[in-house]
Chain A
Amino acid sequence: MSATPDLNRRALLRRAAAAGLLTLPAAGLLSACAGSDPAQDDNSGAAKSKDNPFGVQDGSSVKVVIFDGGLGDQWAKEDEAVFKAKHPNVTVNMSSTQKIKTEEQPKMATQPSDVIMNSGADLMDISTLVNEGAIEPLEDLLAAPAWDSEGAVADTLLPGTIDKGTFQGKFYVVNVAYTVWGNWYNAALFEKEGWQPPKTFDDFFALAPKIKAKGMAPYVYDAVHGYYPRWALMATIWKSAGKQAVIDIDNLKENAWKADGVLPALEAWEKLVKDKLLLPGQLDHTQSQQAWLDGKAAFIQVGTWLKNEMAETIPPGFEMKLSDYWSLGAGDKAPNDVYAGAGEGIVVPSKAPNKAAAKEFLRAVLSKEGSAKFAELTKSLASTKGSGDNVQDSALTSANELMSNAPEDLILVKFWDFYADLDKESQNLSAELMAGRLTAQQFVDGMQGAADKVASDSSIKKQTRSA
């Protein structure tokens, strides 16, 4: 335990350097832009300084809308306090909701809020927001000095955070929570039974009969939201077929779903379903998580918000630990790549009345102080480096460990952010595969068909990723 934070920090620094190399030229260009074209924001009459890089005006107000989901909204109130410490004369109107799209979309074209956390099941489609020019590029935020540490804001972010928020070459979305996905298990139970958390599907298939013998289902999943099992399917595909295969899939390359390694990855899942290793019952996310906490199933796959989401019903003695998604074995192209990245995106609408304060608020959210509070309150990492260093928690520590042993590349899938049609189709097909109504081959054919349809549809604006 004592060595972990140190190791972890080094790994993070290493990756941060890589991210820095990518972003620095861009940041340089942008600051040049910003210099030549000052004060376009309506509310930026105030002088700009290191402490006030966007020229927030005293006496102005900023409207912040927070998604009140798995992470709650208390962390945002702490950020408000951080913000107020520097700008006591700026009013922060904060509200939280689960209905982001329902409440915010109608206002987007006329009088939107200044800061919107676009998250949850009811979020505004990010590609549409970008394509419609409805949200503001935030490159000046990346280039601005960090709130309470050295360097620019970009330098303080965990790897992948900037990539994740970049669309069509510009940075639009500040993803505040750093999520690690994987298979969760109850370490106390595994220790008692002498079970080893599997590393490959073969390990799992060998362990499964022992779990079943204890009257438990080996695995439980969310059967209502197709995007839950989709994380696991895509992680297996990435590990088996490698990064380039997923990049090709995201870029709608011809026959990308038929690349080597994609089908075997899905066949492993097909076997898991066919062998009846799933807890029956079509549960939704919280129901399945509760079933797992109640000891009805041994494994569940989900992100690191799990602990906070289920905080009230975790039985005493239950030791939540995260392990990496299983790989297929020796033939895998990237067996150790971890599914991690920034999530819970915050955007600033282009028509926001007080963009300067909005960006300044985001700078406060990404501060050391604010992000440490975030990790402490939510038991999830923030996208700012070092947020979890002082939090003692088995779930968070296991996630930290997983990250510290991870290779450079993080699993990142973009096609569902790029194309709403593929998002829907992949969710549907993932659910069908897990329900046992679809074979791996049919899944591949279905996805290829859907991808080809999007590729040939001229009404859909195409996007690409390079890394």
Chain B
Amino acid sequence: MRHGVARFVMGFLALPVALYLFYVVWPFAQAAGYSLTDWGGYSDRQQFVGLENYVRLFSDELIRKAFWHNVFFLITVPLFTIALALFLAFLLNVGGREDRAGIRGVFGSGLYKVIFFFPQVLSLVVVAVMWQQIYRADGQGLINGVLMKIGLVDPEDPILFTFDPEPFLGVPAVLWWLLLIAVWSGAGFYMVLFSAAMQSIPKDVFEAAILDGAGRFHTFFRITLPLLRDTVSVAWIYLGFIALDMYALVFVMTPSQGGPNHASEIFASVLNFTAFQKGQFGYACAMGVALAIFTILLAAAQLKITRRERIEY
């Protein structure tokens, strides 16, 4: 690079980089620093306690519970979201009948695209508040109300949704109901992402497959999915981040923010309680740092596993 160009680039980059360092990187460093202290959050007094907070993490029952709940989301959110998004994208792009114009999506796919993408436009808190009304556990709830009207649900014993800690397949029901919302609100975006990727697959590949007698099932699993590998892998990592957060849904939708009785406790809700209610900011920072390390390791492992040679069309 010529000297003048370097200076030109530097001039443009200096300010954003400085802002980034100050507002993003520095707080991270600060949190890591606080995680080694017993800071309470309301004063400027703090004592260095070394790795004590991290040692505590391993014997904290609540954290262990929260960790497994996060692992549940980590597996299910990407799995169901990607599966649903792929299915929708496939139907919208190549699932329809083939005719003289070539391969196309099902009838009205343009409209469906808008509908499915819509939840992505809403803020997560709006989504949560809306679903609160859908899930409401009396006759005024959308689901309960309808089911009570047609006699499928006893008004004395409504579906409890996010108030239900009873295990379903070994996982508290409240987590499944939260999962449903997460998948519903996330699938639209990934559908669009996968649609774009599918459209970049040359049409003649599909046509050749159809000529050879491949049905929809084989077209999808033998052609579409392998050619989307890169996109799916990236989606998986993004969704992993979302699954490790889930804070907004838990905070708005569950009783006592992680309830009932810790049934929907996740890393972020325990962190919030420890910092802001218990006043143990030092320990809470240690949780945050531990979560960050876990997230980075996970992303790195994922990229490593899914790395393959790219196919050029």
Contacts and interface: CB of A to CB of B under 8 A. Distances in A.
B160 A428 contact: no
Contacts, number: 100
Interface in B148-172: 155-158, 160, 163, 165
Contacts of A105: 41-42, 276
Given A280-B158, A282-B163, A432-B261, A109 B276 contact: no
B278 interface: yes
B277 A281 contact: no
Interface stretch (A124-132, A389-397, A403-411): A124-132
B273 interface: yes
A213 B62 CA distance: 45
A276 B154 CA distance: 13
A128 B42 contact: yes
Nearest to A106: B41
A133 B43 contact: yes
A36 interface: no
Contact of B42 (A129, A280, A283, A420): A129
A281 B139 contact: yes
Given A105-B41, A283-B138, A427 B279 contact: no
B280 A132 contact: no
A429 B256 CA distance: 11
A375 interface: no
Contacts of B64: none
B279 A280 contact: no
A427 B42 contact: no
A437 B255 CA distance: 15
Contacts of B38: 459
Interface residues of B, number: 31
A253 interface: no
A212 B138 CA distance: 18
Interface string B253-272: 00110011110000000000
A73 to B, nearest CB: 23
Interface in A212-234: 223-226
A281 B41 contact: no
Contacts of A437: 165, 260-261
B44 to A, nearest CB: 5
Contact of B261 (A223, A282, A428): A428
Interface in B207-260: 255-256, 259-260
A293 B288 CA distance: 45
Contacts of B157: 280
Nearest to B163: A282
B256 A132 contact: no
Name the residue among A105, A133, A279, A281 with the largest chain B CB count within 10 angstroms.
A281
A27 B266 CA distance: 47
Interface in B267-297: 273, 276-280, 283
Contact of B44 (A109, A125, A276): A109
A32 to B, nearest CB: 28
Interface in A405-457: 420-421, 423-424, 427-429, 431-432, 435, 437
A127 B278 CA distance: 9
Contact of B41 (A110, A128, A282, A423): A128
B45 interface: yes
Contacts of B273: 420, 424
B262 A134 contact: no
A128 B39 CA distance: 11
Interface in A117-147: 124-125, 127-129, 131-134
Interface string B10-39: 000000000000000000000000000010
B188 interface: no
B78 interface: no
Contact of B138 (A125, A282, A428, A432): A282
Interface of A: 101, 105, 108-110, 124-125, 127-129, 131-134, 223-226, 276, 279-283, 420-421, 423-424, 427-429, 431-432, 435, 437, 459
25 contacts: A108-B43, A109-B41, A125-B276, A128-B42, A128-B279, A132-B42, A133-B43, A134-B42, A226-B259, A280-B157, A281-B137, A281-B139, A282-B138, A282-B255, A283-B137, A420-B277, A421-B278, A424-B273, A424-B277, A428-B259, A428-B261, A431-B256, A431-B261, A435-B260, A437-B260
Given A128-B279, A431-B259, 10 more contacts: A109-B44, A132-B45, A280-B137, A281-B138, A281-B139, A282-B160, A420-B278, A420-B279, A431-B255, A431-B256
Interface of B: 38, 40-45, 136-139, 155-158, 160, 163, 165, 255-256, 259-262, 273, 276-280, 283
